[in-house]
Amino acid sequence: MEVVQKRIRTDGTSLLVRGFGYAFIGLFAICCLIPFLVVLGTSFTKEASIAKHGFNIWPREFTTFAYKIVFENPNLIIGSYIVTIGLTIVGAIVGLFLVAMTGYALQRPDFEQRNSISFFIYFTTLFSGGLVPFYLLIKQYLHLGDNYLAVLLPGLMSPFLIIMMKSFTKSIPHAITESAKIDGAGDFTIFLRLILPMATPALATIGLFIALGYWNEWYNAMLFLSPDMKYRPLQLFLYNVITSADFIRNSSAASNVPLRDMPLESMKMATAVVATGPVILFYPFVQRYFIQGITVGAVKG
Amino acid sequence: MKTIAQPVQASVETRPRVQQSRSRKLWNNRTLLLMCAPAILFFAIFAYLPMPGLYLAFIQYNYTDGIFKSAFIGLDNFRFLVMTGDLWRLTFNTIAYNLAFIVLGNFLQIFIAILLNELRKKWFKKVSQTIMFLPFFISFVIIGLIAYNILSFDYGLLNNILTSLGMEPVKAYSNPHVWPFIIVITYLWQSTGYGSIVYFASIMGLDSEVVEAAEIDGANALQRIRYIVLPWLKPTFIILLLFSLGGVLRGNFGLFYNLVGANNTSLYATTDIIETYVFRSLMNNFNFSMGSAVSLYQSVFGFIVVITANWLVKKASPDNSLF
Domains in chain A, please, with CATH?
17-299 (1.10.3720.10)
* pLDDT in the model for residue A260: 67
Q: A194, A220 in Cβ contact below 8 A?
A: no
> Smallest CA–CA separation between A136 and chain B, in Å?
8
State whether B50 and A295 contact (CB < 8 Å): no
Q: CA quadruple B215, B216, B218, B223: dihedral positive or negative?
A: negative
Nearest by CB to A32, which of B31, B135, B288? Answer: B135
Q: Nearest residue of A to residue B286 by CA position?
A: A132
Looking at the complex, does the CB of residue B52 fall below 8 Å from at least one CB of chain A? yes
Residue A246 has pLDDT above 80, yes or no: no
Q: Residue A284 — very low, low, confident or very high, per pLDDT cuts 50/70/90?
A: confident
| Rounded Cα gap, residues B290 and A134, in angstroms | 15
Looking at the complex, does the CB of residue A238 fall below 8 Å from at least one CB of chain B? yes
Q: Residue A32 — very low, low, confident or very high, per pLDDT cuts 50/70/90?
A: very high
Give ∠ CA B216-B220-B224 in degrees, rounded to 5: 90
Disruptive mutation site among B36, B48, B190, B264 for chain A (greatest number of A CBs within 10 Å): B36
* Number of neighbours of residue A171 by Cβ within 10 angstroms: 15
Q: Which of A135, A98, A288 minimizes the C-alpha distance to A210?
A: A98
| Chain B residue numbers touching A40 (CB-CB < 8 A) | none
Residues of B (189-228) whose Cβ lies below 8 Å from A: 189, 192-194, 197-198, 201, 215-216, 218, 220-222, 225
**Cα–Cα distances in Å, from B227 out to B210, B230, B233?**
11, 7, 11
Give ∠ CA A162-A163-A169 in degrees, rounded to 5: 85
Q: Which residues contact B27 (CB under 8 A, 6 or more apart)?
A: none
Give ∠ CA B259-A239-A287 in degrees, rounded to 5: 75
User: What are the backbone angles phi and psi of residue A62, rounded to the nearest 5°?
Assistant: -75, 140
Looking at the complex, does the CB of residue B63 fall below 8 Å from at least one CB of chain A? no
Residue A42 has pLDDT above 60, yes or no: yes
Looking at the complex, does the CB of residue A282 fall below 8 Å from at least one CB of chain B? no
- Chain centroid, CA B171 distance in Å: 29
* pLDDT in the model for residue A218: 92
Q: Considering only A28-42, A47-61, B76-90, B155-169, which range has the smallest mean pLDDT?
A: A47-61
What percent of chain A has a predicted confidence (pLDDT) above 70?
90
A54 Rama sector, left if φ>0, alpha if ψ -120 to 50, beta otherwise:
left
Q: Residue A262 — very low, low, confident or very high, per pLDDT cuts 50/70/90?
A: confident
Question: Among A11-25, A68-82, A231-245, B211-225, which range has the highest average pLDDT?
Answer: A11-25
Residue A126 has pLDDT above 60, yes or no: yes
Looking at the complex, does the CB of residue A227 fall below 8 Å from at least one CB of chain B? no
How buried is residue B178: exposed, middle or buried, by Cβ count under 10 Å (0-12/13-18/19+)? Answer: middle
Q: Residue A84 — very low, low, confident or very high, per pLDDT cuts 50/70/90?
A: very high
| Rounded Cα gap, residues A128 and B294, in angstroms | 12
Secondary structure of chain B: what % helix, strand, coil (to 5)? 80, 0, 20
Secondary structure (DSSP) of B84-104: TTHHHHHHHHHHHHHHHHHHH
* Number of neighbours of residue B242 by Cβ within 10 angstroms: 23
| Chain B residue numbers touching A129 (CB-CB < 8 A) | 47, 49-54, 295, 299
**Cα–Cα distances in Å, from B64 out to A146, B67, B68, B69?**
22, 9, 11, 9
Domains in chain B, please, with CATH?
89-320 (1.10.3720.10)
* pLDDT in the model for residue B17: 53
Average pLDDT over residues A109-115: 89
Q: B265, B258 in Cβ contact below 8 A?
A: no
* pLDDT in the model for residue B8: 44
* pLDDT in the model for residue B91: 93
Q: Nearest residue of B to residue A212 by CA position?
A: B137
User: What are the backbone angles phi and psi of residue B120, rounded to the nearest 5°?
Assistant: -110, -30
Q: A293, A205 in Cβ contact below 8 A?
A: yes
Average pLDDT over residues A138-142: 91
SS3 B261: coil
Looking at the complex, does the CB of residue A239 fall below 8 Å from at least one CB of chain B? yes
Q: Which residues contact A294 (CB under 8 A, 6 or more apart)?
A: B194, B197, B198
What percent of chain A has a predicted confidence (pLDDT) above 90?
40
| Rounded Cα gap, residues A190 and B256, in angstroms | 45
Q: Considering only A51-65, A253-267, B162-176, B265-279, which range has the smallest mean pLDDT?
A: A253-267
State whether B139 and A51 contact (CB < 8 Å): no
State whether B116 and A21 contact (CB < 8 Å): yes
* Number of neighbours of residue B81 by Cβ within 10 angstroms: 21
Q: Residue A268 — very low, low, confident or very high, per pLDDT cuts 50/70/90?
A: confident
State whether B7 and A175 contact (CB < 8 Å): yes
| Rounded Cα gap, residues A98 and A111, in angstroms | 18
Q: A299, B236 in Cβ contact below 8 A?
A: yes
Residues of chain B with pLDDT under 50: 1-13
Residue A280 has pLDDT above 60, yes or no: yes
* Number of neighbours of residue A4 by Cβ within 10 angstroms: 6
Nearest by CB to A300, which of B4, B253, B320? Answer: B320
State whether A242 and B156 contact (CB < 8 Å): no
| Rounded Cα gap, residues B134 and A287, in angstroms | 9
Disruptive mutation site among B13, B14, B26, B46 for chain A (greatest number of A CBs within 10 Å): B46
| Rounded Cα gap, residues B100 and B184, in angstroms | 7
Q: Residue A9 — very low, low, confident or very high, per pLDDT cuts 50/70/90?
A: low
State whether B216 and A275 contact (CB < 8 Å): no
Residues of A (93-152) whose Cβ lies below 8 Å from B: 98-99, 101-102, 104-106, 108-113, 117, 119-122, 124, 126-137
Residues of B (94-123) whose Cβ lies below 8 Å from A: 112, 115-116, 118-121
Within a 13 Å sphere around the CA of B16, how many CA atoms are in the beta-carbon half? 3
SS3 B119: coil
Q: A154, A222 in Cβ contact below 8 A?
A: no
Disruptive mutation site among B58, B65, B142, B289 for chain A (greatest number of A CBs within 10 Å): B142
SS3 B272: coil
* Number of neighbours of residue B16 by Cβ within 10 angstroms: 4
Average pLDDT over residues A235-263: 74
State whether A235 and B159 contact (CB < 8 Å): no
Nearest by CB to A132, which of B7, B56, B215? Answer: B56
State whether A157 and B39 contact (CB < 8 Å): yes
Q: pLDDT tens-digit profile of B128-162?
A: 999 999 999 999 999 998 888 888 887 888 888 88
Q: pLDDT tens-digit profile of B170-227?
A: 888 888 888 999 999 999 999 999 889 889 988 888 888 888 888 888 888 888 899 8
